[in-house]
Structure 1
Amino acid sequence: MAARLLSIRFSLVILAFSIFSLPLTSPAEAQTYRFTNVTVEGATRIEPATILTYAGIAQGETISAGQLNTAYQNVLGSRLFETVEFVPSGNTLIIRVVEYPTVNRINFEGNRRLKNEELSQVVQSQVRRVYSPSIAEQDAARITQAYEQQGRLAASVDPVIIRRSNNRVDLVFEIREGRVSEVERISFVGNRNYSDRRLRRVLESKQAGIFRRIIQRDTFIADRIEFDKQVIRDFYLARGFVDFQVLSATPEFSRERDGFFVTFNVREGQRYSFGEITVTSELGNIDPDEFAREVKIRPGQTYSPNGVDDTIRRLERLAVQKDLDFIRVDPRVTRNDRNLSLDIEFAVVKGPRVFVERIDIEGNATTLDRVVRRQFETVEGDPFNPRQIRDAAERIRALGFFSNAEVNAREGSSPEQVIVDVDVEEQPTGSLGFGASYSASGGVGVNVSFSERNFLGRGQRLQLEFTTTADTGTYGFNFVEPGFLGRNLQFGISASYSETTTATNTSYDTVRGLFSPSLEFPVSENGRLQVRYVLNATEISDVPATSSAILQAEDAVGMQIASGVGYTYSYRTLDTGLNPDAGILFRFGQDFAGLGGDLEYVQTNALLVAERKVLNNDVTLRAVFEGGAHSSLGGDVSRITDRFNLNGKMRGFDSFGIGPRDLGAANQDALGGNYFAVAKFEAEFPLGLPEEYGVRGGVFLDVGSVWGLDNVAGTGGPVDDSLHLRSAAGVSLFRDTPIGPLRFNFSRTLEKQPYDIERDFDLTISTRF
């Protein structure tokens, strides 16, 4: 019995194995079709032949069910139809389709921060075109990305269609903007030489503060973080930290998910200085000693890549001046870790013979091509110099006309030819401003200004300004052509007209008119020279009988015109020199009146500014020395409208508050002086307040005077025009605002004359030299 059961079980196993071993054939593969006729139903805009082409089914051809399914997928995948149906009916295949509707209207709902016009430029869906769900979804993603660029990472967009008659739909993008994601805190890990506060000032991103509604740089934008990583690296490299690295930049959501905490993890490394500096040449016709005289960096100076680039630029420029083409200067660096120095060998070598075939400029819808081209020192047919191309790219970006500017070189029609591609994106360059002000002395004031930095796309600057208060009215016009005659020659025209009616601490009226065309051009790497013609008309009137006889005599003369020429030489290394933490500005100018007109004089002005950052760049020390002299010629005497008064040049004293006085006059109006000299010393430093407030402190000491008159004799009273030193000291508060860096000065005079008029507090826009 057991043997029989075992035999039956074995037979069942063999039977099962035999069944499952048979080849399987699916019904779909077994079924075939042969259609002698194919008809299309529901197509109105799309030709039936087009649908048949997508299907790929020939009449009379035998096809399998799998091939029929492939044909169905091809027609559906064309994205021309909302629904597709294949219906075999005997020898006929019926293809029923429902076409996508056309877009009747595109609307945006829920958007407040971005206008409809801005969003219309983002989407690709168009009115009177076939509606595509996939394109609508892509448009929703693009709108979301536009909001992310505004810092609204919680924004969401849903495309919705509203059916209309005649197979039309309204496409509506329902937008939920969400709140702005702000940068709540920026911190650094690994920084030892520079504080978090100093590094934050380098970044484009800013922490959210009390003015977050006005200042938009506190908005979190991911792309800006990448830019910040680069500027931090540039900051450290410019100060000798050659091994500096940004290990990571990690943004993290706050617990409330309404802001980000950004942490930069950095590795500073050691600060290096320049070691031995040498110039060598691999070419027999070049004297290395002659090129070495062009090197300005010296051993012991803090290493700076700007210094290396500047030296290479100088040496390559010298080679061009000597008619040596295809010369390249290679910096060869030897690292000395023992004494933390870098030996630099500037090797003058022969570069490849490559020429610039052409320069292609794209994207400049408003700016003329010549404005971009004049930033290049290279033209078509010149030897190709990669450094000159990089320098031109920096100059194009520095114009401020473009939100983005990319300059790249590619191979031209042959390996010896190079095409330079310039791709730019325009940005607004004009502004129209309206302002109002109030002061106890001047009353209510109104200011209207118009400024255009790229006038008519020609790269020209145009500025119009109108300012009026209770006692003054000023009208100004300024025009600058930076590329006059296609050269690095700046042509400008300035014109102004102003009237004052018993201005602060005065009892007379004045009228001033100015017209001055000028030319300005570089005379050295950091020096520029401006030459100009000046036509100046001035008048003093309505001088009361209680004023000095000097002012009454000037009133009797009436309007006088001064016509002459002048020049100003300026030398600047602030923010542009080899040392990023120190620099100077020197300016010296003279005007010579007597080229026609009523007056003859020589007026001289000089300014010297020295600035240095200390204590790991947290403290800025600044010294300013300024002076001037007015020398009348031909028997003329100076007038109050030509003399110096120190308004705005010395803190602690009011407008027309210091200077020579007629002590015998009842009102003792300030008479101004032919000479002035001022020395100002100040320090600017952090106060320990949160960085996002943008508040810094400062202390200052001002020493100066104005003195000297031509017509003291015969006034009938004692006139004090002697040199009396005045001095004032005080503290300042600086506040960065959208209208500029405001400065609050609290002063106390240390030395003055009895008739001087003091001012303990003033609010100004901080001067940036």
Structure 2
Amino acid sequence: MIDPTRLLRSAFLALALLFLAPVGAGGTLLGVEAAQAATVARISVIGNKEVDDAAVIKYLAVRVGEQATSAKLSASVDALQATGLFKSVSVTMQGSTVVVKVVENSIVSSVQFEGNQRFSDANLVAMIDLMNRGTVDQAGLDRDIATIKKAYTDVGYTNVDVSTRLEPAGNGRTRVVFVINEGGRSGIAAINFTGNNSISSWNLKSIIKTHETGWLSWLLRDDNYTQEQLDVDRVLIQQYYANHGFPDAQVTSAVAEYDAKRNGYFITYTIVEGDRYSFGKIGVETSIAGLDANNLTNTIRTRQGDRFSSAELQQSAQDMAVEATNLGYPFADVRPRVERDPATGTFGVTYLVDEGAHLYVERINITGNAKTRDFVIRRELGFAEGDPFNRAMVTAGKQHIEALGFFSKVDVSAQPGSAADKVILNINVTEQSTGDYGITAGYDSSSGILGELSVTERNFLGRGQYIKASLGASQTGKSFNFSFTEPYFMGLKMSAGVDAYHIINDETSSNIYGTTSTGAQFRFGLPVTRDLSAQLFTGLDQTVIADSDHNSSFFTDGQKLNKAWVGYSLTYNTLDDQKHPTEGLYATLTQQYVGWNYNFVKTEAKARYFMPIFPDAGLVGSVKGQAGIINTFGSSGLNPVEAFNYGNTLVRGFQPSNMGPRIGAQPVGYTAYAGGSLEATFPIPMLPETYGLSGSVWADAAVVGGQGASGAVDPTSINQPLKSSVGASIIWDSPFGPLRGDFAYVLTKATDDKTQMFALTLQTLL
């Protein structure tokens, strides 16, 4: 019989031993782990064929002479499995020996692809990680399949199917074949907007990154759908509204629905516009002693009565801070105070200019520029180490770096320096291609079919220099051109460059005489103000006349005409967009003296002002004026080569070099002209914006006077000095450059002036 007292005493003793026993690390009772762990005397590897013992042992968490705990054995299994070399792994302790048993994955002998057309084999090999791993494991193959599918999906192949086929290659090796069924490429069937009562759908389509499938989509590949792109579009739409009078506009949703029958997506953006606002009273206040607020008003882009624009508001604040820095107040901080008045639909703005924190740039770190030299980036900042730190200057510097066109992405961040008043600036750039090899072909009304081969590098040797060489040919001649520009000559904010050329214009039925011109020009450019720049230039030229048929009354075959010139040009530019302007003024004034065989001064002034007529509908108007005059000195006179010979570039509908005075039925050009043009440009309804097509209607008029050679002028060539025409144009923003086809109807002309109903030319600002 069991004694209850003795049983109770034994139970208490057992509990005491349990709780009083020392506890080891991890909660293991002292002695238990030690009993399980043994000192490793030897490591044995079993099952490996391609991977040697040393390579296997290297991944183990335990070594000879160490204790083999269960944690170390488990960690060894995990490490070996993570290599991807083995299908299965076990690590056990048998006596004092660690036994490692492995079953190896197959070694990759080669990788092949079947069914791929969109991506080359080399492209696909670069995407996957199989060759880096060197072995075949299903988890790795699944990751590679997912990578290939994503690459196809990103370029519109949403129905792509990717699988693998494993083929024995002998000696335990495996050939991996990726079988790709690309399927049809999905596009964007339609893009719709709801709630956009004030801004047209065409305008909104033109500013987003997602584009409808069009007839050029096969070339541009711009009709891909991704959710990331839709998110970017939402931001772009809101920014566009905020810059066009709607500060409260929101894109509440962007939904894409796939239509299997159309193999495309229908995308709908839902917009809540809010109320339209314009700018009210504008003012500047400053608390900085000695700084006159009136000296900052010239930087204000926001004008009372103009529609509200968030971009103009922020740019004005930035320009004002930069101007204050230039005036000697480097710590100026500008904040726009905005006062909303819903009753009048206006935002009153007061720019507050206060003294900011006195911080200094301790160091500027630049990363990511493998090709571009550091100094090319640093000189765009406008400040250096040790200078005051001003956020407006940093933002302006970032914009200048982006404007170089050398980088696809520019990130600028600041971090605290070694002291409270020190800041370290970090600039990370992502470089993009800056070289172009061009092969273009086209048609010009005056030259016929033409083509050009060119090589261009915008960041030559990573020094920010521009260089271009081109070879052109047409039905009427050939051309060889070379151009080089150093944007910061001798480290100054002044550009310097040289242009050399050899141009041959053949003697043809339409050209009474031919010319071969060889010359070069040196030029220097510098900014005068924010909107005004100047250029100085000088050059030499020799032109040889070709007149084998002796048709010309002014030249002889083989005659050489030498000239040297020096001049300047001024350019004033306030355009809001250099490629598709909707507002602003672009004007040039050029004057040059020409000597050697000549003695005259040529002066030309041209200007074009753009204005939005119905901005929400994309209707833009422009007014252009141009004038020129040649003043000769002495008895050297002039000849038709140097006289003005504009045709359709002055008044559309007139043939080049066939407008104005004639002597003996030969055009001699004119020495003075004045002209003007009115034009309205608009999107073409029902056409997707991705086609890059727009239309315009216009009216041109000009008066020409003087004659480019001495002699009796044919009366029928000057019986109407006023040249005028009206017409319409189709403008195509083509991948090869902006082209325009002008359909003209001439209203007034001289009897001998030659006209043309249609002309295909390059689109220019002037």
Same fold, judged at TM 0.5 (above):
yes
CA, structure 1 residues 293+526, in 2 after alignment: closer, same or farther (shift >3 Å)?
A: closer
Could you say which residue in structure 1 is the equivalent of 2:705?
707
Unaligned runs of at least 5 residues, structure 1: 1-28
Could you say which residue in structure 2 is the equivalent of 1:622?
622
SS where residue 140 of structure 1 aligns?
helix
CA, structure 1 residues 766+465, in 2 after alignment: closer, same or farther (shift >3 Å)?
A: same
* Structural mapping, 1:453-472, within 5 Å: 453-472=458-477
CA-CA distance at 1:82 after TM superposition: 1.8
Q: Is the 8 A contact 1:56 1:71 kept in 2?
A: no
CA-CA distance at 1:566 after TM superposition: 0.6
SS where residue 639 of structure 2 aligns?
coil
* Structural mapping, 1:380-399, within 5 Å: 380-399=385-404
Could you say which residue in structure 1 is the equivalent of 2:180?
175
What is the alpha-carbon distance in structure 1 between the residues aligned to residue 36 and residue 301 of structure 2? 88
What is the alpha-carbon distance in structure 2 between the residues aligned to residue 378 and residue 114 of structure 1? 45
SS where residue 142 of structure 2 aligns?
helix
CA, structure 1 residues 228+109, in 2 after alignment: closer, same or farther (shift >3 Å)?
A: same
Answer with 293-302 or 695-704: which moved more: 293-302
CA, structure 1 residues 417+722, in 2 after alignment: closer, same or farther (shift >3 Å)?
A: farther
What is the alpha-carbon distance in structure 2 between the residues aligned to residue 306 and residue 71 of structure 1? 59
Could you say which residue in structure 2 is the equivalent of 1:738?
735
Answer with 131-140 or 528-537: which moved more: 131-140
CA-CA distance at 1:604 after TM superposition: 0.7
Counterpart residue type for residue 149 of structure 2: T
Could you say which residue in structure 2 is the equivalent of 1:515?
520
Could you say which residue in structure 2 is the equivalent of 1:632?
632
Is 1:563 aligned with 2:568?
no
CA, structure 1 residues 620+128, in 2 after alignment: closer, same or farther (shift >3 Å)?
A: closer
CA-CA distance at 1:438 after TM superposition: 6.0
Q: Is the 8 A contact 2:515 2:544 kept in 1?
A: yes
CA, structure 1 residues 198+321, in 2 after alignment: closer, same or farther (shift >3 Å)?
A: closer
* Structural mapping, 1:312-331, within 5 Å: 312-331=317-336
Could you say which residue in structure 2 is the equivalent of 1:758?
755
1:678 is aligned, of 675, 680, 683, to 675
CA-CA distance at 1:659 after TM superposition: 0.9
Is 1:432 aligned with 2:445?
no
* Structural mapping, 1:327-346, within 5 Å: 327-346=332-351
Answer with 639-648 or 396-405: which moved more: 396-405
CA, structure 1 residues 756+380, in 2 after alignment: closer, same or farther (shift >3 Å)?
A: same
Q: Is the 8 A contact 2:716 2:751 kept in 1?
A: no
Could you say which residue in structure 2 is the equivalent of 1:5?
none
SS where residue 381 of structure 1 aligns?
coil
Identity of aligned residues (%): 28
Could you say which residue in structure 2 is the equivalent of 1:605?
604
CA-CA distance at 1:672 after TM superposition: 0.7
Could you say which residue in structure 2 is the equivalent of 1:483?
488
Answer with 646-655 or 501-510: which moved more: 501-510
Q: Is the 8 A contact 1:646 1:706 kept in 2?
A: no
CA-CA distance at 1:528 after TM superposition: 0.7
Could you say which residue in structure 2 is the equivalent of 1:497?
502
CA-CA distance at 1:226 after TM superposition: 2.8
Answer with 258-267 or 353-362: which moved more: 353-362
- CA displacement, residues 481-503 of structure 1 (integer Å, 9 cap, x when unaligned): 22222332221211222122235
Could you say which residue in structure 2 is the equivalent of 1:3?
none
* Structural mapping, 1:93-108, within 5 Å: 94-108=99-113
Answer with 409-418 or 700-709: which moved more: 409-418
Counterpart residue type for residue 669 of structure 2: G
Is 1:203 aligned with 2:204?
no
CA-CA distance at 1:201 after TM superposition: 1.5
CA-CA distance at 1:145 after TM superposition: 2.4
CA, structure 1 residues 85+655, in 2 after alignment: closer, same or farther (shift >3 Å)?
A: same
What is the alpha-carbon distance in structure 1 between the residues aligned to residue 315 and residue 444 of structure 2? 48
CA, structure 1 residues 52+541, in 2 after alignment: closer, same or farther (shift >3 Å)?
A: closer
What is the alpha-carbon distance in structure 2 between the residues aligned to residue 140 and residue 280 of structure 1? 62
What is the alpha-carbon distance in structure 2 between the residues aligned to residue 420 and residue 126 of structure 1? 40
CA-CA distance at 1:243 after TM superposition: 1.0
What is the alpha-carbon distance in structure 1 between the residues aligned to residue 654 and residue 713 of structure 2? 28
2:54 is aligned, of 37, 47, 57, to 47
Could you say which residue in structure 2 is the equivalent of 1:301?
306
Q: Is the 8 A contact 1:554 1:639 kept in 2?
A: no
Counterpart residue type for residue 634 of structure 1: G
What is the alpha-carbon distance in structure 2 between the residues aligned to residue 92 and residue 221 of structure 1? 56
Answer with 42-51 or 345-354: which moved more: 42-51
Answer with 204-213 or 685-694: which moved more: 685-694
CA-CA distance at 1:127 after TM superposition: 5.2
What is the alpha-carbon distance in structure 1 between the residues aligned to residue 95 and residue 462 of structure 2? 71
What is the alpha-carbon distance in structure 2 between the residues aligned to residue 125 and residue 414 of structure 1? 49
Could you say which residue in structure 1 is the equivalent of 2:21?
none
1:254 is aligned, of 248, 256, 259, to 259
Is 1:409 aligned with 2:414?
yes
Is 1:660 aligned with 2:668?
no
Could you say which residue in structure 1 is the equivalent of 2:19?
none
Could you say which residue in structure 1 is the equivalent of 2:241?
236
Could you say which residue in structure 1 is the equivalent of 2:641?
641
CA-CA distance at 1:723 after TM superposition: 6.4
SS where residue 402 of structure 2 aligns?
helix
Answer with 338-347 or 94-103: which moved more: 94-103
Q: Is the 8 A contact 1:520 1:530 kept in 2?
A: yes
SS where residue 126 of structure 1 aligns?
helix
What is the alpha-carbon distance in structure 2 between the residues aligned to residue 323 and residue 60 of structure 1? 72
Answer with 421-430 or 37-46: which moved more: 37-46
What is the alpha-carbon distance in structure 1 between the residues aligned to residue 592 and residue 279 of structure 2? 44
CA-CA distance at 1:165 after TM superposition: 4.3
Could you say which residue in structure 2 is the equivalent of 1:123?
128
Answer with 551-560 or 567-576: which moved more: 551-560
- How many residues matched? 725
Could you say which residue in structure 1 is the equivalent of 2:13?
none
CA-CA distance at 1:421 after TM superposition: 2.1
Counterpart residue type for residue 745 of structure 1: D
CA-CA distance at 1:313 after TM superposition: 3.2
What is the alpha-carbon distance in structure 2 between the residues aligned to residue 160 and residue 417 of structure 1? 60
What is the alpha-carbon distance in structure 2 between the residues aligned to residue 163 and residue 201 of structure 1? 54
What is the alpha-carbon distance in structure 1 between the residues aligned to residue 388 and residue 96 of structure 2? 74
Counterpart residue type for residue 564 of structure 2: S
What is the alpha-carbon distance in structure 2 between the residues aligned to residue 636 and residue 235 of structure 1? 58
SS where residue 191 of structure 2 aligns?
strand
Could you say which residue in structure 2 is the equivalent of 1:9?
none
Unaligned runs of at least 5 residues, structure 2: 1-31
What is the alpha-carbon distance in structure 2 between the residues aligned to residue 688 and residue 716 of structure 1? 49
CA, structure 1 residues 518+720, in 2 after alignment: closer, same or farther (shift >3 Å)?
A: same
- CA displacement, residues 711-738 of structure 1 (integer Å, 9 cap, x when unaligned): 544x597685576111111222233432
SS where residue 400 of structure 1 aligns?
coil
CA-CA distance at 1:166 after TM superposition: 4.6
What is the alpha-carbon distance in structure 2 between the residues aligned to residue 291 and residue 682 of structure 1? 35
What is the alpha-carbon distance in structure 1 between the residues aligned to residue 59 and residue 428 of structure 2? 44
Could you say which residue in structure 1 is the equivalent of 2:22?
none
* Structural mapping, 1:6-45, within 5 Å: 39-43=44-48, 44-45=51-52
Q: Is the 8 A contact 1:506 1:669 kept in 2?
A: no
CA, structure 1 residues 35+323, in 2 after alignment: closer, same or farther (shift >3 Å)?
A: closer
What is the alpha-carbon distance in structure 2 between the residues aligned to residue 371 and residue 284 of structure 1? 36
Counterpart residue type for residue 405 of structure 1: V
CA, structure 1 residues 276+149, in 2 after alignment: closer, same or farther (shift >3 Å)?
A: same
Is 1:84 aligned with 2:89?
yes
User: In angstroms, what is the RMSD of aligned CA positions?
Assistant: 3.3
* Structural mapping, 1:265-304, within 5 Å: 265-292=270-297, 295=300, 297-304=302-309
- CA displacement, residues 683-736 of structure 1 (integer Å, 9 cap, x when unaligned): 2223422325444332221112433126544x5976855761111112222334
CA, structure 1 residues 735+617, in 2 after alignment: closer, same or farther (shift >3 Å)?
A: same
Answer with 69-78 or 161-170: which moved more: 69-78
Could you say which residue in structure 2 is the equivalent of 1:152?
157
- CA displacement, residues 134-183 of structure 1 (integer Å, 9 cap, x when unaligned): 44433333333222332223334335544444554444433333332211
What is the alpha-carbon distance in structure 1 between the residues aligned to residue 601 and residue 626 of structure 2? 17
Q: Is the 8 A contact 1:54 1:75 kept in 2?
A: no
What is the alpha-carbon distance in structure 1 between the residues aligned to residue 329 and residue 72 of structure 2? 72
- CA displacement, residues 13-59 of structure 1 (integer Å, 9 cap, x when unaligned): xxxxxxxxxxxxxxxx9xx9898986431244353883794479999
